[in-house]
Amino acid sequence: DVKVTQSSRYLVKRTGEKVFLECVQDMDHENMFWYRQDPGLGLRLIYFSYDVKMKEKGDIPEGYSVSREKKERFSLILESASTNQTSMYLCASKTGGANQPQHFGDGTRLSIL
């Protein structure tokens, strides 16, 4: 089975801090995604990557950046955390083909105080 591992289940940070969320997948998938999930707003795409060092903005990239130096690892960076970035963050990966399923990690519940 595909395993997508997010480094932390729960994280508490302070406003203005630089925050790193890490995601690792073990299936050699080309594509990786970062989403945030908020009550009433559903799942929203922040960034995705289709290859090492390649990245594309999703629907809500403001305030975030990403890094993909190795195929298996995709990092989400909050440059200067703000309270409106308190959310559940989900990482996913999939193979390069169309209509293939995405495999999600268990999420990181991030609180910015």
Residue type, 105: G
Cα-to-chain-centroid distance, residue 1: 20
Is the CB of 79 or the CB of 106 nearer to another protein? 106
Contacting another protein (CB under 8 A), which of 19, 21, 24, 33? 33
- Residues sharing a CB contact under 8 Å with residue 13, sequence separation 6 or more, in sequence order: 19, 78, 81, 110, 111, 112, 113
Is the CB of 64 or the CB of 104 nearer to another protein? 104
Report 35-64 residues binding another protein (CB under 8 A). 35, 42-43, 45, 48-50, 56, 58-59
Distance (Å, rounded) from C-alpha 9 to C-alpha 31? 22
Note whether 90 binds another protein by CB under 8 A: yes
Note whether 73 binds another protein by CB under 8 A: no
